[in-house]
Structure formats: C-alpha cells, structure tokens
Structure 1
C-alpha cells in the first residue's frame, strides 16, 4: 500500500511530461536522455526534491516520444497524390453510413507485410460486415487535414485513434475472403446484432431508435446531421454517445441496486461491498464492450476498476485516484492526449472534485447544486476553447438531461436489449422519440454565444479564475475572477485601420473560401463544401470575430464553392448575397455584374466578370472580384477558365494588375492562361486545393508557368490557411496556425515528401 502512495507522489510529474511532450516543436531523444541521466545523478548525489520531479517529467517526455514515434512510423508516407493500392483488409468495426457513402475502419495487410489501420470510404455503399475480409483496390492517401486558427484537427484525430491512412474503395474491385473470427470481430458482430434489435420500431420512431442505438451500442452515425445541430446549442453532445458519464452513472446504479438487494436478503452477507464493487466493475466492462471499447469508455472503466481496488477510508485521496487513472490511460496509450474527449472528461472530473472538497459536509441538495455550478462554469472555458461556442442554457438543460439520460433512457435502452419483449423496446423507442422532439423544440429557442479566439495567456488566466471561483472561501478574489472571465468572453481582435484590409485564404480542402475584412465591413467570397463550411470555415470566421457578413459572394453554382451557402446564410446573415448564377438558389440572390464597384472604409471593390458564351459547364459564369487597398490589389476569379480570362484581358488589359492572384479553378491547367498571368503580373499566386486531391491541383504546367514568371506560389494543401494585410506596407504572409508540433506534418515542407 505504501508503495502505491509513493508512486502517486511522482505520477503527476510523469503525466505532465507525457502531456507536455506533444507541445514540442521537435522530437529529439538525445537531449532528453542526457537531461534524465544528469538529473538522476544530481538527485542521488544531492537529494534535491526538484531534481526528482524533473526526472519524472523527462521520463514522461521520453516515453511519449518513443510511443508516438512507433505510431508515426506506421502512417502512410507523405505523398502529394493518391496511390492505387491492392490490399487485403479486415473490417474491424460497424460501418457508418449516410446518404452518400459508407465509412469503416479496417485492418490492412500491405504487400510488404506491414499492418495498418485505415479509414475507408465506399461511395457505392456495399455491405461491409464486421470481421469480413476482402481483397480490394483502394485509392489511398496520407491523412492531412485542414489547418486554420481553430477547428477539427484531422491529424490529431488520426493519431489518437491509430488511423494510418484514408482511402476510397474502387468500384467493382473487391473479392471476398474467409472471414476472421477473433474476439474483436465477435464483439463487433454482437454490437451489430444489438443494433438490429430495434428494427421493428424504426418506422414509427426513427429518431428515437437512432438515439437508442447511440446510447446503447455507440452507433452515433445512426443519428442524422440535423440531430447533431440541435445538441450543440444545448451542450448535450457528451450525452448522445456511450460516454464516460454514462459508464460511471450506470456502474453506480448497478452498485446501488446490488446493495439494496443484499440488504433485504433473509440471510446476512458478510462484506457486501465486495459484491457491489464487483457488479459495478462488471457493468462498466460490459457497457464499454457495447461501445466497442471506445477511448472515453476505457477511461471511465479504468477509473471504476481503480476505485474498486483501492478505495478504503483514508487509503487513497480522490485526486490520487485521478492521477493514477490518468497515468494508467497514458501508459496504455499516450496518444490519448491528442483527443479532446480526454481533456474534457478528466478536467471536468477534476473540477468537480476540486469544488466538492469544501462542501463534503453540506446537505445533499447543496452538493448537487455546487457540482452543477462547478461543471457549468468550467465548461464555459473548456467548451469555448475547444469548440469556440458557449451554449447559454447548457447548465440548465444538463441539470435536467443528465439524470433523464443516465437514469432513465440508458438503463431502459439496455434493458430492452436484455429482455426479449417487443413492447418494452417500443416503449423505449417512444420515450426516446419524445425526448428528441422536445430537444428540437428547445434548440429552436436556445441562445448560443461565440467568443472570438483570445490569446493563450488570457485562456490560462481564465482557467485559473475558474479554479479560484470554485473555492469555498476567498470571496475577495471573486470579483477579479469574474472580470477575467468577462474579458475572455468579450475579447475582440484588432480591426484593420481605415484604408486597409485583411485578406484571409481559409483552408477548406478541395474548395475555395476567401474573406476580406475592412475597418467596419466583412465580405466572404465562396464557402467551400457543406462539410468544410461546418467543420472549418464557420468556426474560424467566428473565432476571427466575424459574426455577420455585409456581403456573401458565391462565384458560381459548384459544391466546392457554394456548398456551405445555406449554412453561412443561416448563421452569419449576410446583408446581401451576390452570385454568378443567381437562379440556382432558392433564396434571394443578386447577379454580380461586371463594372459594378463600391468603397468600404477607403478600400475599393469591383466586379470584373464579362459575359462569355458557353455551351456546357458553369465555370465561365464565375464572379471575378478585384480589391484594392492603398497600393496593393488582389484578384479572385473563382473557377474561371481560359476563355473567361481572355475576355477579361480584352475588357481591362493592364488594369488587371494585382500583387495577389487567387488562381482560377484551384490551379487547374484549364485556367491560368499565359497571357493572363503575364498581364496580372502577381507577386503571389494562391492555389486553394485539398491535399492529394484526385484532380492534381495545382497542375504541374501551372506551377511551371509560375516559376518561369518568378511568381511565388502559396498552396493551402501544403501551408494551410494564411492571411496578409493590404496596406501601404510590404506584403507579409502569415499562417493562420503559427505553431506546429513535431507530430503534425502540415504545414508541409517540400523535403518531407517521399
């Protein structure tokens, strides 16, 4: 027992080392090995306590670097194009399906004998049963996502889930092989069988069945996209899956029921706590298995096991159990640090323990209120930092939804799986359906606040302020803490000066989205795809304090340019919408007319597009926007082809000169006519394209032409999002994400390609 207590003294420092290692810009082993041995000798010789603490940090850093390097070695090499690969795969999980595709994780046997985990997409939506093995052809590429100021980090997600590559299954190119029958495949089939138990109720209660599948077997893809849109403003995303909260609450419920059962037995049971703890652990394991042992459930399962093994009066402090659980999770998989769920779950538990220490002797109702207040206050900072939004009524909704989900819906969903009574499953589906309808109604009126992305120092101050606010004493500091939180939520980044404009090229994958900010106005040119607008563009516009648009320009009706138009219109409410093909939209849109111009805050805007006769296609209808600020100009042409570029040359000639040219059609060879490039004579050309896109954008011929003309090419697929200021000062480009840890490959250097 004393040994565990001794270990708990050093575990926090080891955990700090593991977590901090993922902030390192370079992964050098030798300096850390040298520091570890030097400090170890110094600690043995002098006995200084701080040397031992730093030794533990160095040990954590080395452990994380070693384990992460092993995973990085198994990732698909950084190749700037997709590669057709003939492989043997084994489906390892339940496929996720939507209207366009089927996605699933598979273990892939490569020709060189290596095994990797791949995320595969099948647009033909064939059946991929868990455990089935196939010989297929796949267009595979490295996992390189969009890189902006905030938003979903695909590389971090892939590393945290040990996914080595992404691929698209080639149609008609699969051959069935004998199925696998390991424990993982048996578990996946069992989960699939459980998911199909509500098939009879799906017609009458589609949303209810989808919710039950998410709560019982972790099948989140069963819920439609509209459902997830209502969970965000209510702050309920953590409840609509098999989360750590559900595992913990269900284990506690099982232990409580077991205790009550043993209490009323006619015979006396010695040490009943053994039975209650064993049942709690068994419940946590079974429920985690239903979720496919997802990472959040693993954490909760480990915590419950540790508590069951170590809990005695005065044996281990609550925070020692917390540190021990984190250490075991990181020892098993240090890459869990890259998961947002890791931080949300452990930090919220820590906040609850921190707040509860001073109220242990209070009445139960006061402890519950205090816990809710602590979770709500901490989630304001955590959710704002991770997701860029603050659900205003989330504490109130969670106060009612948490007991309803954890004590009613989840047990009922599991009971309907165990008891073979169709009436019970129908009742569970009915309750879940009514729950979804009520949440839809509440979400229509739920306010949501979107703070701008503040400097890191202000976030750290806000975190400290939350901890001080939750202390039972120290009232004299609370006004200052509340002021710090108010400063965080009201932070506004500096606006451009009069006569200047900030140009941002957002990284939206294979698409285009450009925003131009003046002193008092905002313009957005194109939105990217619907997915990119939801996951990347909208969060980053809000983080840049762009809450409303003065103008939305949709260059033409193509999904990679206007796919997010409806979303942007709904949330940013542009005062005017201009488009190259206004008849393609169901909402009011004006035509962008060549020759129209206006001024905002001393910055000149003009549309230059010319009418071009085309039989097929819509690229030549693209709006062409030129913006002039001081002595700098930027020209944006959408997907305009060479025919449209020649029309611009005829109409405007040398007046097209601009220091920045956003290349037409993402750098396709069907755009960028040589005479057009020479006339515009840009200093910088920007290609907005997706990494390893199937079209080969930007094209080799275009890159060669730019090199011949001494034009610097900037690429979002390699560099991520970027910005510059149009002013009298020289142009200076800045990446939207300035910090690059060692494990992240984007921004990509040209020497990184294999």
Structure 2
C-alpha cells in the first residue's frame, strides 16, 4: 500500500514541473491506460507490485491534469475584463480596516448571469461606503483583471499563489451609488476580530494572529522580526497549535468523564477513550474554524481525524503510512494547495518530526524535565537543519538564531499564550465577563516575549540573506544532512561529505558574468538592473503606493539578494515621477547605495562614468529646469565598446529629435528600453531608425489604463528587425552578454515557464 501511495504522490508532484497541461483529449487515454494497468493479470508478487504502482502513478497524472483543466474551465470570459461589471457575492475575508479593504469575494452572479459554480475573486476597495465585514452579501460595481502578478527572479509568485487559492480574477471596487449591502450578517470570526481590535492593545496584531489565524494586522517590521527569528510557524493557527489544543481537550474531557463516573455515579471503571477522542475531533474542528479553515489548520486536522479513525477501528498504522495517506488525501481533497509553499513547509516539518522520534525514541518512563528538554533541543536542531534547504531555496534567507529562539518561544507560546488566547475567545463567545482582562494578560506576556525576540533578532548575525541556489544543490545537502543524522554504519559518511561539495563549491565560487541587463517587471513603471562582476548598477526603482506596497521590497531587494548582492554600487534615477522613483526611500532604508545620481546633480548631458569596465554616458538633459518632468529624464547609454544599452526614461518625440540632432548615428544601440513605456508621444520612426535596436523592451503594467504600448508604436518597431518584449507579457527580461553575443531569457518563458504560474496574456 505504501508503494502505491508514494507513486500517486510522486505523480501528483510532477505537475509542478509541467510546462503545459496535457491536452484535454489525452485525458481519456490516460484514464484508459490506468484501467488497463489495473486489469492486467499478474503472475507473481513482483509483477503485481509493478502493475499497481504504475497504475497509481498514471492515476496521479490523470488527477492533476483533470484538476488543471477543471480550474481553467471556471476562468471568467474575456468580456468580463474589458469594462466594469456588477457582481454579487459574499465577503469571505476578515476585514480589519474600515477605511480601506482588500478582500476575497465569492461571487454567484456577474451582471445578469447566474454562475453555475460560485467563484472566488480578490478585490480592493478604498473608502468603502459602509463598514465591510466577513459574511456580508454585497452587490458591487467592479473592474476586473485576469489573475496576474509581477514575474521576477527572487520575488513572490503572486500569480501562482492566486492559482493555489482558486482565485479567478482580481480587481477593485468602483465608486457607484448603487453599490449595496444586500445582507448584513457578520461571521462569528469577524465579531471576534472586532472585539479584539476594539481593545486597542499594543500587541493586537499578534493576538489576532494567534487567536484567529489573521495576520493582516502585522506591520512590515513585524514580518521582518518573524523572518529574522524564524517563528513564522508560531504566529498563526497551525499544526503545532492544533495538536496542543487537541491534547488539552482530550485530557480535560477524559478527566471530566472519569470524575463524573467515579465520583458522581460511583460505578466501576469505564473506558472513555473513544468518547474523548470523538469530542476532541469536534473541538479541534471548531478551533480550525477560528483559523478560517486555513490550509495549515485543515492539514493538521485531517491528520488528527485520520488518527482518530484508526483509534475507532482499532487499526494500527506506522507513522510512514499515516503520513502517506494524509498527503494523498490532502492532494485529492485540496489539489491546488500543492502549488503553495505552506504545503511543503507543513508536511516537511511533520516528516522531520517523525524522523527525529524514529531516530531518537523517548524510552524514559514518566515525565522527566531532562528528557523533555533533550527532546526539544534535538527536535529544534533537526528542524532547523533539515528545513534550512527548503526555506533557503524558497526565500533565499537563513535564520541562524532560530533554533535557540524557538527553544524559548515555543514553550511560552504553546503552553501559555495560545491557551490564554483560546480562553479569551471562548469567554468572548459565551459573553463571560472579564474576557478583556484575559487578553490584557496575554498582551503583557506577548510584549515580554516580543521584547526578548527583538533583542535576540537585533544581533547582526541572527539571520542573513543568501544568493539563489538551484534546487538540486539543496536536495544534495538535505540527503547529506539525513546521512549524518542516521545511525552510524547504515550509509558511509563519506557520501554525505561528497554531497555537500556542490553547496560549498557554489558558495565559494559566486557566478561570474561578463555583464547582464535585467529589465524588471515592476508593473506600470521602470527599473533596470545591470550586473557586472557581481556588482549592480540600477536605473530607476519603480513605484510606491499609499498602502505601503513598493517595488523595492517586492522586486528589487529580492532580486538583488538572490544574486548574492548586499549593496548597489551605482543608482541612477531618471526623473522623479512615482513610477520611476517612488520606491527610492524604501530601497535606501534597507540596502546600501554607494553612489546616487539624479538630474539634480550629475546625471546631465556629457556626464560620464566608468563602471566595472563599462562606459556609462549621460546624453540628456542639458538643463532639466527647461523641460517637463518626463522630458528632463536622464538618458543613459551603457556600452562595453561592442554591445550597448540605451535607457530613455519618459522622453517624448521632441527630445528624441534633439538627441538625433546632437548625436546622430552615435545613438545606435543593441538594446533599447522604449521611451515612456510605449506612449504615442514617443518612439518616432526617425528615432527608431537612428537607434537601430536589436532588442526593444516595453516596461508597462498588465492591462494598464493608458493602453501602453500603443498599437501604432508597436507597429513602428515591428517594421524593423528588432525583437520586442513586454514586461506585462514576458515578466522580467534578462539579456546576458558575453563573447558569443547576447542571449535573451524571459521569466515567464524561460526562467519559470510552468503552466500554473503563467497564462496567455496581452
């Protein structure tokens, strides 16, 4: 059975590496093959095993391919994205800000169309007409877009996350007097959150996370602390908390039943095992509801329910089979969660915990502080070591202090803070007085813990970011770590040392490149990173928004850190429009910028810089005070003598004419970043003919309101032999230059081309 389960899981996981879904017409063939394999006669046990394992593998392929096509079936038609539409549905997200909201809406109707199946969309709404709450039934006038996200190396794959959450569109609510609240019922979770927020405690964001699994109130500084200290698993309702609640609930119920039977009834001893387990499953399901039935809580409850089922049926399974059945069941019930990071973090942690207790079983009879402390230390060290490859691969970040910090934080949070939070929630639900006092005590305890965590996290060596390292290197390191932890004699330690060589070699010999141009996908804006000999020159930094979201934190910093860079050696800001310079404060706050150049100082006509052997020359402006912001953009030409890049900012055709008059054929460049994102006011035909680019990149937002690049502009470039790229379509555009010439790679087509993270757009 274990082999068949493993085969099904392996086949399902293979969907992560598909470049495209198998054609719909092939699915019946795949299913037929599975049936034939199942019906194939087997003459011996080996053949039977091969037959059943192969059948389960094919079924895994069929299941994930079917899920992919099923999900695509529920995508909204293109007509729903061309203009505003009326939608009707129920608010599914907790709302913590009455002035601005970002929420999921499960819609049942679009315009006058009743949907066959309710679908989930994600909306933002600035200054809602009424206090928006989870559970409300609303009718709204919205502007929708297909699921889409910024696509850059090192960055968060938002489009993949939307897919894993079954979200079929994103958008915003438009002001309209007919936006209406159809039904005003609040959910229980929303009432609990409102009560916690109303207390206005210093640690309210953390209390909301620990009590309700709602992390929306946590500020960027809070997330930075979480990352540096490695306590992400503690700040939301997850398997650790569910296991704690289940244990406490079982002990309480069993004790109460035993007391009633022995003291009140005074009868013979009775076995209340089954009753206690059943009530515990119901109670922990209620606790999972407090987390909004989030996938981490559901995964933990599913494993708990499976264990309960085995208890009821008096069946014994080993840990390996329980884990395989649990993973298989979750893939069948929630297949899209396979594409989310939390799936791997959760089941990775459970697997490691099982390995630790197999490797170092607890044989001490009764409770022992020494045994408990030794087990905790082993568990934390093993989790930190074996989870390091997965965390480092996904986030390019390592917390050195996490094992020590968790030895302090885990007991306090799980044994004190979480039970107190749960007590406060129960008292609030039952309207028992003094629940406010319980949360006040929680606030005091959390403040003490956060102060200590901040102190430990402030140590300069507590955590550090690392360059992006291929997954196969981390797999080798994981196998090596497992070999070191296995009992001596099972596998030679020499093999473990050999498997560590790729990581050591990769770390000691950073990737060298002649030079590389990266046009980042920053939506409607611009940011270009030139890399040479592990140094970075950045031209523009993209936008920042009132919500706090900015391109420095979401795009530039993850990209630079994934390339092993800790500073920017030269930063040029073309002009001070938000879409080109808005993220500058956030960038300078987090990363060292050795030299900054703008049109207010050196970045003017005739200024030159020799950087890493490249010639950087400013061609414009002559006097920025004489022109508009766009036309005063600092125009740069970067060249190695043979290959060149022309960066044009937001200039229009009038400045293009001045550049042609002054420089003529000296403007010719291999790569051109199209002026003003492809506006009709720029990219004149004479300018294109003078520059003669081989590659043209339009940096513009997906379905932007201005329609950039304009059709006429694209057609002008198409009249040449230039290759055209759009960040909205291709994501990050990477051009690597070496002795053999230029090689172009795009994020969506070459770097991360998987079917679930991209879709045909533009």
Whether these two folds match at TM > 0.5 is yes
- How much does 1:347 deviate? 1.0
Deviations 1:655-693 (A, max 9, x none): 211111011222222332333222212121101122212
Q: Which residue of 2 is the match for residue 124 of structure 1?
A: 127
Residue 74 of structure 1 contacts residue 164 of structure 1 at CA under 8 Å; is this kept in 2?
yes
Q: How far apart, in 2, do the equivalents of 1:331 and 1:428 lie?
A: 39
Q: Which residue of 1 is the match for residue 547 of structure 2?
A: none
Q: Which residue of 2 is the match for residue 426 of structure 1?
A: 440
Q: Which residue of 2 is the match for residue 548 of structure 1?
A: 567
Q: How far apart, in 2, do the equivalents of 1:278 and 1:72 lie?
A: 39
- How much does 1:175 deviate? 3.0
| Residue 343 (str. 1) matches residue 344 (str. 2) | yes
Residue 147 of structure 2 contacts residue 162 of structure 2 at CA under 8 Å; is this kept in 1?
yes
Alpha-carbon RMSD: 2.8
- How much does 1:349 deviate? 0.6
| Residue 700 (str. 1) matches residue 704 (str. 2) | no
Residue 84 of structure 1 contacts residue 139 of structure 1 at CA under 8 Å; is this kept in 2?
yes
Q: How far apart, in 2, do the equivalents of 1:607 and 1:101 lie?
A: 43
| Residue 139 (str. 1) matches residue 117 (str. 2) | no
Corresponding residue SS for 1:227 = helix
Q: How far apart, in 2, do the equivalents of 1:563 and 1:479 lie?
A: 52
- How much does 1:97 deviate? 3.9
- How much does 1:445 deviate? 2.3
- Identify the range of structure 1 (113-122 vs 419-428) with the bigger mean alpha-carbon deviation: 419-428
Q: How far apart, in 2, do the equivalents of 1:251 and 1:310 lie?
A: 16
Q: Which residue of 2 is the match for residue 740 of structure 1?
A: 753
Q: Which residue of 2 is the match for residue 371 of structure 1?
A: 379
| Residue 610 (str. 1) matches residue 621 (str. 2) | yes
CA distance 1:80–1:180, shift in 2 (3 Å):
closer
Q: Which residue of 1 is the match for residue 584 of structure 2?
A: 565
Q: How far apart, in 2, do the equivalents of 1:78 and 1:524 lie?
A: 37
Residue 94 of structure 1 contacts residue 192 of structure 1 at CA under 8 Å; is this kept in 2?
yes
Q: How far apart, in 2, do the equivalents of 1:457 and 1:16 lie?
A: 17
CA distance 1:733–1:484, shift in 2 (3 Å):
same
| Residue 575 (str. 1) matches residue 594 (str. 2) | yes
Residue 521 of structure 1 contacts residue 600 of structure 1 at CA under 8 Å; is this kept in 2?
no
Q: How far apart, in 2, do the equivalents of 1:371 and 1:698 lie?
A: 55
Corresponding residue SS for 1:621 = coil
Deviations 1:707-741 (A, max 9, x none): 23343211111111121223443322112453423
Q: Which residue of 2 is the match for residue 385 of structure 1?
A: 393
CA distance 1:692–1:595, shift in 2 (3 Å):
same
Q: Which residue of 2 is the match for residue 459 of structure 1?
A: 474
Residue 306 of structure 2 contacts residue 326 of structure 2 at CA under 8 Å; is this kept in 1?
yes
Instruction: Specify which of 161, 168, 174 is matched with residue 165 of structure 2.
Output: 161
Corresponding residue SS for 1:635 = strand
- Identify the range of structure 1 (149-158 vs 135-144) with the bigger mean alpha-carbon deviation: 149-158
Residue 612 of structure 1 contacts residue 644 of structure 1 at CA under 8 Å; is this kept in 2?
no
Q: Which residue of 1 is the match for residue 68 of structure 2?
A: 68
CA distance 1:515–1:82, shift in 2 (3 Å):
farther
- Identify the range of structure 1 (563-572 vs 537-546) with the bigger mean alpha-carbon deviation: 563-572
Q: Which residue of 1 is the match for residue 239 of structure 2?
A: 244
Q: Which residue of 1 is the match for residue 430 of structure 2?
A: none
Taking the TM superposition and a 5 Å limit, the aligned residue runs for 1:365-514 are 365-419=373-427, 420-421=433-434, 422-445=436-459, 447-474=462-489, 477-478=492-493, 481=496, 484-485=499-500, 487-488=502-503, 491-492=506-507, 495-496=511-512, 500-514=514-528
Q: Which residue of 2 is the match for residue 214 of structure 1?
A: 209
- How much does 1:30 deviate? 4.8
Corresponding residue SS for 1:552 = strand
- How much does 1:118 deviate? 0.5
Q: How far apart, in 2, do the equivalents of 1:174 and 1:269 lie?
A: 66
Q: Which residue of 2 is the match for residue 27 of structure 1?
A: 21
Q: How far apart, in 2, do the equivalents of 1:411 and 1:706 lie?
A: 65
- How much does 1:200 deviate? 4.6
CA distance 1:82–1:222, shift in 2 (3 Å):
farther
Q: What count of residue pairs does the alignment treat as equivalent?
A: 724
Deviations 1:331-369 (A, max 9, x none): 112111011001100011101111220211454433222
Residue 630 of structure 1 contacts residue 727 of structure 1 at CA under 8 Å; is this kept in 2?
no
Q: How far apart, in 2, do the equivalents of 1:101 and 1:600 lie?
A: 45
Q: Which residue of 2 is the match for residue 586 of structure 1?
A: none
- Identify the range of structure 1 (480-489 vs 164-173) with the bigger mean alpha-carbon deviation: 480-489
User: Which has the bigger relative contact order, CA under 8 A and spacing at least 6?
Assistant: 1
Residue 215 of structure 1 contacts residue 241 of structure 1 at CA under 8 Å; is this kept in 2?
yes
CA distance 1:327–1:660, shift in 2 (3 Å):
same
Corresponding residue SS for 1:220 = coil
Residue 72 of structure 1 contacts residue 743 of structure 1 at CA under 8 Å; is this kept in 2?
no
| Structure 1, unpaired ranges of 5+ | 1-5, 182-187, 582-589
Residue 92 of structure 2 contacts residue 103 of structure 2 at CA under 8 Å; is this kept in 1?
no
- Identify the range of structure 1 (148-157 vs 734-743) with the bigger mean alpha-carbon deviation: 734-743
Taking the TM superposition and a 5 Å limit, the aligned residue runs for 1:179-190 are 179=183, 189-190=187-188
Q: Which residue of 2 is the match for residue 326 of structure 1?
A: 327
Q: How far apart, in 2, do the equivalents of 1:646 and 1:75 lie?
A: 46
Corresponding residue SS for 2:740 = coil
| Residue 234 (str. 1) matches residue 229 (str. 2) | yes
Residue 536 of structure 2 contacts residue 568 of structure 2 at CA under 8 Å; is this kept in 1?
yes
Q: Which residue of 2 is the match for residue 536 of structure 1?
A: 555
Residue 607 of structure 2 contacts residue 618 of structure 2 at CA under 8 Å; is this kept in 1?
yes
- How much does 1:216 deviate? 0.9
| Structure 2, unpaired ranges of 5+ | 364-370, 428-432, 545-549
| Residue 356 (str. 1) matches residue 357 (str. 2) | yes
Corresponding residue SS for 1:140 = strand
CA distance 1:102–1:125, shift in 2 (3 Å):
farther
- How much does 1:150 deviate? 3.4
